[in-house]
Chains A and B, each alone.
Chain A
Amino acid sequence: MSIDQSNAAKVAKLARIKVEDDALPALASEFNTILGFIEQLNEVDIEGVEPMVSVEPMRLKRREDVVTDGNQQDKVLANAPDAREGFFAVPKVVE
């Protein structure tokens, strides 16, 4: 499976990373090098093998569904590039 420029542009869009048009050929070529390396996995017989979902066989712990933390609005907003009136501020989302 080889990636062309339009695939590369689609991936960049999905990843929400702006890539200029003139950078797409080099990006597509890098993807193909890495994916070519990954293709080796097709040699492995994986018939009947379960995908690994947990490094150690364990069930994630459960806890009561209650608030354990909170009332830290100022701390939550302290690192925001743009915070106003107790909220994160972003460009207009809905027209």
Chain B
Amino acid sequence: MSDLNKLGLAEARDALRAGDVTSVELTESCLKAIDDADALNAFVHKTPEIALERAKAADERIKAGDAPSMCGLPIGIKDLFCTKGVPSQAASKILEGFKPEYESTVSQQLADSGAVMLGKLNMDEFAMGSSNETSVYGNAVSPWRRGNDDAQLTPGGSSGGSASAVAADLCLAATGTDTGGSIRQPAAFVGITGIKPTYGRCSRWGIVAFASSLDQAGPMTKNVRDAAIMLEAMCGHDPKDSTSTELAVPNFEAMLTGDIKGKKIGIPKEYRMDGMPAEIEKLWAEGAEMLKAAGAEIVDISLPHTKYALPTYYVIAPAEASSNLARYDGVRYGRRAQLAQGDGITEMYEKTRAEGFGHEVQRRVMIGTYVLSAGFYDAYYNRARKVRTLIKKDFEDVFAAGIDAILTPATPSASFGLGEMTEADPVQMYLNDVFTVTVNLAGLPGISVPAGLDQQGLPLGLQLIGRPWEEGDLLNTAYALESAGGFVAKPGKWW
């Protein structure tokens, strides 16, 4: 077999078990692809020794007939996950040199399921960004281009390295995390599948915290079946995360029947925004038609507080970030600024944090500090938490009325050029998450599925939002959409 790195998880799993290929062969193929793709800047810490060691162990297990679900499958891990003995920097200068003495629960579960870690993936600093332009490692680059134009495009963010690596076949799949859309927006930008599960499905333990009431990990994969396989390996109760749920994890892959007859799919009118490109509008209508043709009932619904989701998010996420990022003080881990003669502990904190945090992170920490400060707590933070209750209730109401899933565009545009948004004010960049952020605020599962190409030949995605804890049903609806859409486009190799 050639080009083994181009396989998906399910295909590779079946080939491994049939004895057609070994994990070492798969892993070597990915390692070579990674070394050839430095121009994408997706893998920022490569771990070939760990990869080959795990691949050999996986081959032994397969030979012995003792192969767990992801045995021998090479994947990439977002830099936000703490990985024992391997740099884990959250793409920040402040965590330079940090090598955790422990492993995150999710990456440990993946290792236990036999997955092979190829290395750590680029991202926006502390997962704050929508274009992977805030990383200390520099920009991750999308493998896609606008026709013959050689301008570099963003793979989206914050899981930009994960998106770029999966789309460019540097790995079979990758982990991502999603606080406001950081799995689904990059997945849509590069034509892959990404799911954020219900809040509480995946343990947050060992994942560098951004906004704890919004953060969830999830898989970024080449298709919906692969997402089902990898999500199952990532989920499950963890006593080390007090918000992790004790619900049993179903066999998601077994739920992919493609049968969605009688399912009610909601189309929320508030997601039809002024100035939305006609191509996105068309893609959305086509998606609804495909689901209808597969036997689903399409229902117009209203989520009246949608408009307030982004401003709510930009109070709650920075508030939680300012609290979570208080731990970076130059004392316990990472990097401490060079101090001048006579500098005390306050100067140490202030210089360390000024040098260690990038501009966007500083801005969000300070906004969070402001909205939590005495005199403004009620006006901003408490008000936002009340509006969040209303946003969640919008979804509860439509689900109570019998809606099974909600179909929306994944992003308001296709990928844009790196540097194109530099002059825009921060709010313009925040608008990237307009369709995804509601899902985090309500704690719901959401999946982005590639659905078409725009006039410039760039991928566009559709998002499906499901009922809490019903990722299996959501994946099945996504599977039906994927089957009907038949998206197969891949970027041409230029790197």
CB-CB nearest in chain A for B427: A37
CB-CB nearest in chain B for A29: B425
CB-CB nearest in chain B for A53: B385
Contact at A56–B199, with CB atoms within 8 Å?
yes
Contact at A18–B366, with CB atoms within 8 Å?
no
The stretch among B14-22, B253-261, B346-354, B413-421 that forms the contact with chain A is B346-354
Bound complex: CA of A42 vs CA of B426, how far in Å?
Answer: 21
Please name all residues of chain B whose beta carbon is closer than 8 Å to the beta carbon of A78 when the two chains form the complex: 99, 101
Main DSSP-derived SS at the B contact region: helix
Contact at B389–A52, with CB atoms within 8 Å?
yes
Q: Which of B200, B335, B427 contacts A34 (CB 8 A)?
A: B427
Contact at B390–A55, with CB atoms within 8 Å?
no
Interface assignment of A84: CB less than 8 Å from any CB of chain B:
no
CB-CB nearest in chain B for A39: B311
Q: Which of B97, B245, B308 contacts A56 (CB 8 A)?
A: B245
Contact at A14–B369, with CB atoms within 8 Å?
yes
Bound complex: CA of A92 vs CA of B341, how far in Å?
Answer: 12
Interface assignment of A85: CB less than 8 Å from any CB of chain B:
no
* Count: A-B pairs, CB below 8 Å: 164
Contact at B369–A15, with CB atoms within 8 Å?
yes
A33-B426 in contact given A44-B387, A56-B245, A79-B332 (Cβ < 8 Å): yes
Please name all residues of chain A whose beta carbon is closer than 8 Å to the beta carbon of B334 when the two chains form the complex: 79, 81
Interface assignment of B312: CB less than 8 Å from any CB of chain A:
yes
Interface assignment of A90: CB less than 8 Å from any CB of chain B:
yes
Q: Which of A27, A38, A46, A63 contacts B314 (CB 8 A)?
A: A38
Q: Which of A14, A51, A88, A92 contacts B332 (CB 8 A)?
A: A88
In this complex, how many residues of chain B approach chain A with their Cβ under 8 Å: the count is 71
Contact at B339–A33, with CB atoms within 8 Å?
no
Interface assignment of A49: CB less than 8 Å from any CB of chain B:
yes
| Most chain A CB inside 10 Å of its own CB: which residue of B314, B370, B373, B388 | B370
Question: Nearest chain A CB to B129's CB is how many angstroms away?
Answer: 15
Contact at A82–B354, with CB atoms within 8 Å?
no
Contact at B366–A15, with CB atoms within 8 Å?
yes
Please name all residues of chain B whose beta carbon is closer than 8 Å to the beta carbon of A33 when the two chains form the complex: 425-427
B residues engaging A (CB < 8 A)? 97-101, 198-200, 213, 239, 242-243, 245, 305, 307-308, 310-312, 314-315, 322, 326, 329-336, 339, 343-351, 353-354, 357, 362-363, 365-367, 369-371, 373, 379-380, 382-390, 392, 425-427, 430, 443, 468
Known: A33-B426, A55-B443. 12 other contacts (CB 8 A): A17-B350, A38-B384, A51-B382, A51-B385, A51-B386, A52-B385, A52-B392, A60-B243, A78-B99, A78-B101, A79-B332, A80-B331
